[in-house]
């Protein structure tokens, strides 16, 4: 079975008290609404599973980490309510990651775009390969990175986030993302990345779970309003996606 024939999935594997959450979609790991809902549920469940002390978020395949929102679903949005629900998918995942009482380590093996940058930014500690360049492409289709913006800004700062949001055509290198604080380490290969992620996650499991829980709350202090904020941002995107500009642009891309 080739990668393109594989079915989309979200799954979790527990090994040495580390919960490895993996998502996959044959279209460059883009995330349609059903996968986002499943990812939210799996993260919430892992947060309450006493067998799990640390979580790793990863994607399947060896190329793109996450291409962001599902293009096919984007094209089919025809009213504001549907648009808000669609963009709330990423909001729900980010909020689940934020509220999860366990550290979430990001494992980013390749390019990440749009909502995928939001997911990487919502991890507590993120490692990547040198192939993991990032792009916020939303302005290209007449919307903006409204839902993921707070998470990206929290990691890159307003200057870094606004730079890649405005320069929507450009990929920024993994080293740039590391300099800005999104990635902690950048490795030459996926094999090296996986080795280091495993060692790091398993080492964290030796620490006091309660201490890590309290630290996580401390790190995310000031984001308590994100349930409301990200819902408001999803409504903005849901409105903009109906614009004539966006409709025409999406038709061209299709």
Query: In which domain, by residue range, is 105 found?
Result: 3-191
- Please report whether residue 203 resides in a domain: no
Mean pLDDT for the chain? Answer: 95
Instruction: Look at residue 222 and give its three-state secondary structure.
Output: coil
- Please report whether residue 130 resides in a domain: yes
Q: What is the mean pLDDT of residues 19-48?
A: 97
Cβ proximity of 128 and 108 under 8 Å: yes
- Please report whether residue 242 resides in a domain: no
- Please report whether residue 179 resides in a domain: yes
* Whether pTM exceeds 0.85: yes
- Please report whether residue 70 resides in a domain: yes
Instruction: Look at residue 24 and give its three-state secondary structure.
Output: strand
CATH code, domain with 88:
3.90.226.10
Cβ proximity of 30 and 71 under 8 Å: yes
Residue 242: DSSP 8-state: T
H helices of the chain, where?
A: 33-48, 71-75, 80-99, 115-121, 149-166, 174-180, 190-204, 209-219, 226-240, 244-253
pLDDT at 2 over 60: no
CA 49 – CA 183 distance, rounded (Å): 27
Query: What tokens appear for 80 in the block?
Result: 């504001």
- Please report whether residue 199 resides in a domain: no
Q: What is the mean pLDDT of residues 175-182?
A: 98
| pLDDT tens digit sequence for 93-142 | 999 999 999 999 999 999 999 999 999 999 999 999 999 999 999 999 99
- Please report whether residue 97 resides in a domain: yes
Beta bridge partners of 9: 24
Q: Transcribe 86-144 into DSSP letters.
A: HHHHHHHHHHHHHH-SS-EEEEE-S-EETHHHHHHHTSSEEEEETT--EE--GGGGT--
Contacts of 253 (CB under 8 A, 6+ apart): 71, 141
Percent above pLDDT 70 for the chain: 98
- Please report whether residue 157 resides in a domain: yes
Domain count, the chain: 1
5 falls in which pLDDT band (50, 70, 90)? Answer: low
């Amino acid at each position: 079975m080739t990668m393109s024939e594989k079915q989309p999935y979200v799954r979790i594997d527990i090994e040495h008290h580390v919960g490895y959450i993996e998502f996959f979609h044959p279209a460059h790991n883009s995330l349609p609404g059903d996968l986002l809902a499943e990812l939210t549920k799996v993260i919430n469940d892992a947060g309450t599973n006493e067998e799990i002390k640390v979580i790793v978020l990863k994607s399947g395949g060896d190329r793109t980490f996450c291409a962001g929102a599902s293009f096919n679903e984007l094209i089919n949005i025809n009213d504001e309510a549907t648009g808000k629900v669609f963009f709330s998918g990423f909001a729900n995942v980010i909020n689940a990651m934020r509220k999860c009482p366990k550290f979430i380590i990001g494992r980013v093996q390749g390019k990440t775009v749009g909502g995928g940058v939001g997911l990487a930014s919502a991890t507590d500690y993120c490692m990547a390969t040198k192939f993991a360049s990032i792009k916020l492409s939303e302005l290209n289709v007449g919307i903006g990175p409204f839902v993921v913006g707070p998470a990206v800004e929290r990691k890159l700062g307003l200057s870094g986030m606004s730079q890649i949001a405005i320069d929507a055509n450009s990929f920024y290198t993994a080293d740039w993302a590391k300099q800005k604080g999104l990635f902690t380490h950048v490795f030459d290969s996926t094999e090296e990345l996986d080795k280091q992620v495993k060692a790091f996650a398993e080492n964290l499991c030796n620490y006091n779970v309660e201490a890590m829980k309290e630290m996580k709350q401390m790190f995310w202090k000031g984001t308590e309003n994100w349930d409301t904020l990200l819902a408001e941002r999803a409504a903005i995107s849901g409105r903009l996606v109906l614009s004539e500009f966006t409709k025409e642009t999406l038709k061209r891309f299709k």
